Structure 1
Amino acid sequence: MKVLVPVKRVVDYNVKVRVKADQTGVDLANVKMSMNPFDEIAVEEAVRLKEAGKATEIVVVSIGPKGAQEQIRTALAMGADRGLLIETDEEVQPLAVAKLLKAVAEAEQPQLVVLGKQAIDDDSNQTGQMLAALLGWAQGTFASKVTVGDGEVEVIREIDGGLETVSLKLPAIVTTDLRLNEPRYASLPNIMKAKKKPLDTKTPGDFGVDVAPRLKTLKVTEPPKRKGGIKVPDIATLVDKLKNEAGVI
Structure 2
Amino acid sequence: MEYQNVLLQIEGARADVIINRPERRNALNSATISELVAAFEECRDNPAVRVVVLSGVGDKAFCAGADLAETQQSMSEYARWKGREPFVYLWELLGKLGKPIIAQVQGAALAGGMGLALNCDFVIAGEQARFGTPEINVGMFPMMISAILIRNLGRKKAIDLMLTGRQIDAHEAERIGVATRVVAQVQLKQEVDTLAAELAAKSPAIMKLGKDALYNATDLPFEQALDYLSSMLSLCILTEDSREGLTAFLEKRKPIWKGQ
- TM-score in same-fold range (> 0.5): no
Task: Considering fraction of residues, name the structure with more helix.
Answer: 2
Greater relative contact order (CA < 8 Å, ≥ 6 in sequence):
1
Task: Calculate the TM-score normalised by the size of structure 1.
Answer: 0.30
